[in-house]
Amino acid sequence: VRLTRADLDALPNYVPGRSPADLARELGLPEAIKLASNEVPYGPLPGVVEAVAEAVAGVHRYPDMGVVALRQALAERYGVDVDRVATGCGSVALAEHLVRATCLPGDELVYSWRSFEAYPIIAATSGATSVQVPNDAGHGHDLAAMAAAVTDRTRMILVCNPNNPTGTAVRRAELDRFLDAVPDDVLVVIDEAYREFVTDPEVPDGLDYADRPNVAVLRTLSKAWGLAGLRIGFLVAQPQVAAAVRKVVTPFSTSMAAQAGALAALAQADEVRRRCALVVAERERVGEALTKLVPGVPASQANFVWLPLGDRAVEFGKACESRGVIVRPFPGDGVRVTIGTPTENDAFLAAAEAALS
């Protein structure tokens, strides 16, 4: 076959990171520690595995394409009408659907950089033009510059809050100013994959803005809700935006297992809060230890920390791997480290100290 899209050659792959099993085998260890994908380390929530097992007894049938029960549960939990909710195969798929629903080839998609690595891939494969606005000196979004980057061709802006991979978060006053400055016909997507880990009261809940005509909020059940393997995310937006997303969605892409697992997880909100508090306490402990090793570590509002190691990022990642800890280097820029259990974090801190001293 002759693939005609030469532009794909220039695209980076979405890197899932090293397999812990492979690394453990290579090092002759019983297991390796994976702190590379921002998962929460405490296993599936109570009741999830059972609910999924029950649901998959019927896998010879298609799932509910309307995702009615789950969308209703989400609408109730987040206090919005059900016609404003759409689900997808992870929030990354929903981000892609939003681009497909808003951008024609050549239309511009604005986002800060560095941010979530899927954004440039989504833009390129959807025919949209990426407009990347450099992060500010503190590794956070420069919202004023992002608003200034809007042109007649801009159809969508992604605001990743907290930002992956730097963990920084925009504050309410900045976001207010930004939304007031952006024209109404540009869709602002607030990607809140890490919302549940936010502790700074000045960092606004994107859902507080979801009544604005041009705001959509993306959430995932992969992180705090512990369902990364089921692939389920959702968005809250104006009904016509949610309807447009439901039009471009791959049919049946919210699987039976994902619908059942998500419903069971949503019944465990107290346990999710408890787990997030553990993660946040560890984030603060790990963050404090790291600031003594690396200058300029930004305060994180997510379940990971960012080490701005520049050219030393890859070398640091290799040094951690040699000690059985998989982290996430971004070559030439920095390293993102997911918060794990206290034992995992101690192993990482020991590796970091050895690597940097």
Binding site for ligand PMP (CB under 6 A): 38, 90-92, 116, 160, 164, 191, 193, 220, 222, 228, 233
Smallest distance, Å, CB 314 to ligand PMP? 20
Smallest distance, Å, CB 117 to ligand PMP? 8
Smallest distance, Å, CB 35 to ligand PMP? 14
Smallest distance, Å, CB 45 to ligand PMP? 16
Smallest distance, Å, CB 260 to ligand PMP? 17
CA-wise closest residue to 237 among 215, 221, 204, 208: 215
Q: Provide the b/e sequence for 241-268 (b: ≥16 CB within 10 Å).
A: bbebbbeebeeebbbbbbbbbbbbbbeb
- Taking a C-beta distance cutoff of 8 angstroms, is the pair 75, 81 a contact? yes
Which residue, 146 or 355, has its beta carbon nearer to ligand PMP? 146
Provide the greatest CA pair distance for the chain.
Answer: 57
DSSP class of residue 257 equals: H
Token output for 179 = 């939304």
* Element containing residue 53 per DSSP (H, E): helix 48-56
Which residue, 224 or 320, has its beta carbon nearer to ligand PMP? 224
Count of residues in the chain: 357
Which residue, 215 or 355, has its beta carbon nearer to ligand PMP? 215
Which residue, 261 or 312, has its beta carbon nearer to ligand PMP? 261
* Element containing residue 99 per DSSP (H, E): helix 91-102
Smallest distance, Å, CB 1 to ligand PMP? 29
Which residue, 182 or 227, has its beta carbon nearer to ligand PMP? 227
Residues 6+ apart with CB under 8 A from 242: 83, 84, 85, 86, 235, 236
Residue 118: count other Cβ atoms within 10 Å of its Cβ: 18
| Closest residue to ligand PMP in the complex (CB) | 90
Which residue, 90 or 204, has its beta carbon nearer to ligand PMP? 90
